[in-house]
A and B are shown apart, each in its own frame.
Chain A
Amino acid sequence: MMMNLKSAKTGGILVLCAVIAILPAFLSNAFQYEIAILIGFNAIVCIGLNLLIGYGGQISLGHGAFVGLGAYGSAILTMNQGWDPLLSMVIAAIFTGILAFVIARPILKLKGHYLAMATLGMGIIISIVINTEDQLTGGPDGMYVDGLSFMATQIYWYWLVGALLVFSVWASLNLIHSPIGRALRAVHGSEVAAEVVGVDTTQYKVLIFVVSAVFASIVGSFGVYYSNFVTPDIAGFFHSIELVVMVVFGGMASTFGAVIGAAILTTLPQFLTFLHDYEHLVFGLILMLTMIFLPKGLVPSIAGLLKKGDK
């Protein structure tokens, strides 16, 4: 069983590597590469968010704001301050991490609906600040940002994002199967039971909130270097909801579920462009149907069926 666990982990990573390696054979134009790259970005945010939601059992309806902080942090430091893009990315991630740390304690004392409301409020505040500080951020019009000079073509980006994705999956699985990961799942399972065996539950909730925020921030930074442009939508409410739907749809407490959720829900809207105005509606519908028919999400539900089939 221990071996099983290990092989499931390495097996999953190998499959992911194979998919990333083979996919270019099927991508024929820049638009398709664009979608593949977007899937990678979203998947990485979702892997971080899944640590918080799926494993730690804490909700966040404000993670778009952390992506936004990474994006704008990088944009402002490179364009307004003339800093090196990679340094800017690191500084933005540290800033986001510190901010997440400061607000985590009071927020994570809350439970259920209250936590949802608090993270929602936090996201809205950050979003408003980005919108109104137009001297710094360009306001609603957004901001142009230089790219990374060494990323000559879109293909480079494809491989970079692919590598980052594999790394994120690997690190997330490492974390989950470590004492920290078990403590985190214990917080989800029973806080009081975790505490009486020595788990400082608040500390772990804060830790994973910060980690997921830093994941989001780094993706925001890379995203802005990739697209050379950023608007406040990135930090908005709808983006936050989109991310949560990806995690829930793909499967809570499943790292590969987060990847698959991000892949499907990033691709789907491209096929639904004819109902563009109703995109939000479609997302809402998907969330509802998932909660009703696949409460554990896509990947865990399928895994459960396969397990039953085994017996």
Chain B
Amino acid sequence: MTLLKVNNLSIEFGGVRAIDDLSFTINSGTIHSIIGPNGAGKTTLFNLITGVYTPTSGTILYDDEGVTGFKSYELAARGMSRTFQNLQIFFNMTAIENVMVGAHLHLNRGFLASFFGLPSIKAGDRHCRETCLELLDFVGLKKYADIDTESMPYGALKRLEIARALASKPKILLLDEPAAGLNPAESREIDKVIKKVAERGITVVLVEHDMKMVMEISDHILVLDYGRKLTEGTALEVRNNPDVIAAYLGG
């Protein structure tokens, strides 16, 4: 079943088309990777899909609803979340609090109830803390729960972003280079986490330079170059495509 459908999507920055007339679909329940050389437009595409940027032209259909121009928080309410290539951690909070922000939409957010510290808010927070601890455990960060994020190692922060995104209970999760800057052991950990996320039935969209990881876990791969679709298909199809080889070796 189609979960996300992108039609003729383009965005211009000062006359430069970072995404150029791009169309593709993503089926639910799959791991869908997007690869391409540096500057190909992968992060820009994520920003377009998740409502951080508004496209210059083209449409986005998510879950049978036209969502072009929707704000990020409106898409989050419809089950879309993401992580960032350049860390976007709430450094003014502990690890567990970061994850609890992820659960924002599923909590009682009444102003007066919060202001007067009503038991319903406290009970909600206690329950939220439990589920968020489970998520920290899920990504292997339980021991960091009450640590200030400022003093956590880089690799842990990468996983913390995944836990925070999961707390919003997404249907689709977009991961922008989750393994960038990690050592091989940490990469394998991320690899496992992504597989476990997919096993939960969450559709994963993955941008990653680690080709070994991409080839191994992707159901489908889309190759971008200069904001355009170079090709798409299974790992095997993409790997043997001469254009891809040219773009990577010649790029």
**A174 contacts B115, CB within 8 Å?**
yes
A185 at the interface (CB under 8 A from B): yes
Of A174, A188, A189, A200, the residue contacting B117 (CB under 8 A) is A174
A273 at the interface (CB under 8 A from B): no
Minimal Cβ-Cβ distance residue in B for A55: B92
A201, B104: Cα distance in complex, Å: 12
What's the minimum C-beta distance from B137 to chain A, rounded to whole angstroms? 16
A185, B92: Cα distance in complex, Å: 7
A246 at the interface (CB under 8 A from B): no
A240, B211: Cα distance in complex, Å: 56
Known: A188-B92, A195-B71. A174 touches B116 (CB 8 A): yes
A199 at the interface (CB under 8 A from B): yes
Tell me the A180-220 residues at the B interface (CB within 8 Å): 180-183, 185-186, 188-190, 192-201, 207
Tell me the B156-209 residues at the A interface (CB within 8 Å): 161, 164-165, 167-168
B248 at the interface (CB under 8 A from A): no
Of B4-12, B31-39, B81-89, B219-227, the one touching chain A: B81-89
Of A170, A185, A196, the residue contacting B165 (CB under 8 A) is A196
**B102 contacts A197, CB within 8 Å?**
yes
**B90 contacts A193, CB within 8 Å?**
yes
**B111 contacts A180, CB within 8 Å?**
yes
Of B52, B116, B145, B164, the residue contacting A192 (CB under 8 A) is B52
Chain B contacts for A173, CB-based, 8 A: 117
Minimal Cβ-Cβ distance residue in B for A57: B92
**A192 contacts B84, CB within 8 Å?**
yes
Tell me the A1-57 residues at the B interface (CB within 8 Å): 1-2
What's the minimum C-beta distance from A100 to chain B, rounded to whole angstroms? 15
Of B17-25, B55-63, B93-101, B235-243, the one touching chain A: B93-101
B234 at the interface (CB under 8 A from A): no
A175 at the interface (CB under 8 A from B): yes
**B72 contacts A192, CB within 8 Å?**
yes
Of A182, A196, A198, the residue contacting B93 (CB under 8 A) is A182
A179 at the interface (CB under 8 A from B): yes
B3 at the interface (CB under 8 A from A): no
A192, B47: Cα distance in complex, Å: 10
Of B50, B92, B103, B145, the residue contacting A196 (CB under 8 A) is B50
Tally of contact residues, A, Cβ under 8 A: 31
Minimal Cβ-Cβ distance residue in A for B90: A189
A178 at the interface (CB under 8 A from B): yes
**A178 contacts B117, CB within 8 Å?**
yes
What's the minimum C-beta distance from B187 to chain A, rounded to whole angstroms? 23
Chain B contacts for A280, CB-based, 8 A: none
Minimal Cβ-Cβ distance residue in A for B149: A189
A253 at the interface (CB under 8 A from B): yes
A276 at the interface (CB under 8 A from B): no
A171 at the interface (CB under 8 A from B): yes
B146 at the interface (CB under 8 A from A): yes
**B114 contacts A170, CB within 8 Å?**
no
A177 at the interface (CB under 8 A from B): yes
A193, B161: Cα distance in complex, Å: 9
Chain B contacts for A189, CB-based, 8 A: 89-93
A180, B114: Cα distance in complex, Å: 7
Residue from B75, B92, B124, B146 having most chain A Cβ neighbours under 10 A: B92
A192, B83: Cα distance in complex, Å: 10
What's the minimum C-beta distance from B197 to chain A, rounded to whole angstroms? 16
Chain B contacts for A180, CB-based, 8 A: 109, 111, 114
Chain A contacts for B134, CB-based, 8 A: none
Chain A contacts for B102, CB-based, 8 A: 197
**B104 contacts A183, CB within 8 Å?**
yes
Chain B contacts for A183, CB-based, 8 A: 101, 104, 109
Of A171, A188, A197, the residue contacting B115 (CB under 8 A) is A171
What's the minimum C-beta distance from A194 to chain B, rounded to whole angstroms? 7
A89, B52: Cα distance in complex, Å: 42
Q: B56-82 interface mask toward A, CB cutoff 8 Å, 1 = contact, 0 = none?
A: 000000000000000111011100111
A183, B93: Cα distance in complex, Å: 11
A243, B113: Cα distance in complex, Å: 28
B245 at the interface (CB under 8 A from A): no
**B90 contacts A198, CB within 8 Å?**
no
Known: A2-B129, A179-B124, A197-B164. A186 touches B109 (CB 8 A): no
Minimal Cβ-Cβ distance residue in B for A54: B92
**B114 contacts A190, CB within 8 Å?**
no
**B97 contacts A182, CB within 8 Å?**
yes
Closest 7 CB pairs of A and B: A189-B90, A174-B117, A198-B76, A178-B114, A193-B88, A195-B72, A198-B105
Q: List 16 A-B contacts (CB under 8 A).
A: A171-B115, A177-B117, A179-B107, A180-B109, A180-B111, A185-B97, A185-B101, A186-B90, A186-B101, A192-B72, A193-B90, A193-B164, A195-B71, A195-B73, A198-B76, A200-B71
**Sample of 20 more A-B contacts, CB < 8 Å, known A171-B116, A183-B101:** A178-B114, A179-B100, A179-B109, A179-B124, A180-B111, A182-B100, A185-B97, A188-B90, A188-B92, A189-B89, A189-B90, A189-B91, A189-B93, A193-B88, A193-B89, A195-B52, A196-B76, A197-B104, A197-B105, A199-B104
